[in-house]
Homo-oligomer: A and B are copies of this chain.
Amino acid sequence: MKKILIQLDTDAHPSTFDAIVAHDAGVDELLRYGGIEPDAVRGLVQSAFFTRGPDDLSTLAVWVGGSSVGEGEEVLREVEKAFFGPFRVSAMLDSNGCNTTAATTVARLAREIDLNGRRVVIVGAGAVGLRAAKLLIDEGCDVTVSGIPAARFRDRAYRRAGGLTVAKERGMDIAEPADDEELKQVLDGASLVLAAGPAGVEVLPEAVWRTIDSIEVMADFNAAEPLGIEGTDAQDDLEEHDGKRVLGALAIGGPKMKVHKACVRRLFESNDAILDVDGIYEIAKELA
């Protein structure tokens, strides 16, 4: 029986990346959908249930992707709401690569350093940053999610991250530094710092991070220039810069791809895996 993945993508054109990696992970057939809105989900998912017996539902799975993590989360909720009785299939969310990126990065850090009790600042409150924050809190870190000083946005219009509000609602500590001086105060005492700003924004200038003695490790989610952490390299794989080890975004590219494929394969091992941030982190830790 062919392994069939239903690719629900919230963008108009479903991702080539997710499709190719699915094939490379052993999926036999992809049913690809673009422009998915939440109200289309129930019909597409429930129709799939009645094609094969309840005992064969592990041969079907749902993938949720697209560039908007918020829309993806809504779609995943609808996928789960479509389940009833024995009728359910495994599903995974990785809109914008948010979960595989956050999980692989934290798993890589957890292998390298003891996370428990560590003070962490995550600068930038986008979807990847919030997911990393959640995982680090679960690992026993003392996490602060920090906004990005307005001046860091250069010629871009300042967009106040709604993510800080979300972080607060989830009970996380937040900080809203107005400028680099205030950012330094937020960072003071942190041993682990993650740069999780939007693409194109340098969130940590050298003049800031070099002055913070407490920092031991920094990780950057940004792969393209300008990087999130000035003066580092996207390929840094815990290379030292001024005594601080740096994990660049490209250094986790290989492990992230392994995690991604392992997750897709896991979808077809049962019909009840929901691979959101926690499930993906478990797999990332096994592979790290």
Contact = CB atoms under 8 A, between A and B. Distances in A.
Interface of A: 1-2, 4, 6, 12-13, 15-17, 19-21, 23-24, 29-33, 36, 40, 43-45, 47-48, 50-52, 60, 253, 257
B13 A40 contact: yes
A29 B16 CA distance: 12
Given A31-B32, A50-B253, A253-B50, A40 B20 contact: no
Quick one: copies of this chain in the complex? 3
Contacts of A6: 16
B12 A60 contact: no
Contact of A47 (B17, B47, B52, B257): B17
Contact of A44 (B13, B45, B50): B13
A105 to B, nearest CB: 16
A31 B9 CA distance: 14
B33 A4 contact: no
B1 A16 contact: no
B50 A24 contact: no
**Top 7 closest pairs, chain A to chain B, by CB:** A17-B47, A20-B51, A16-B48, A16-B47, A16-B44, A21-B51, A19-B31
B51 A17 contact: yes
Contacts of A4: 19-20, 23
B52 A20 contact: yes
Contacts of A253: 50
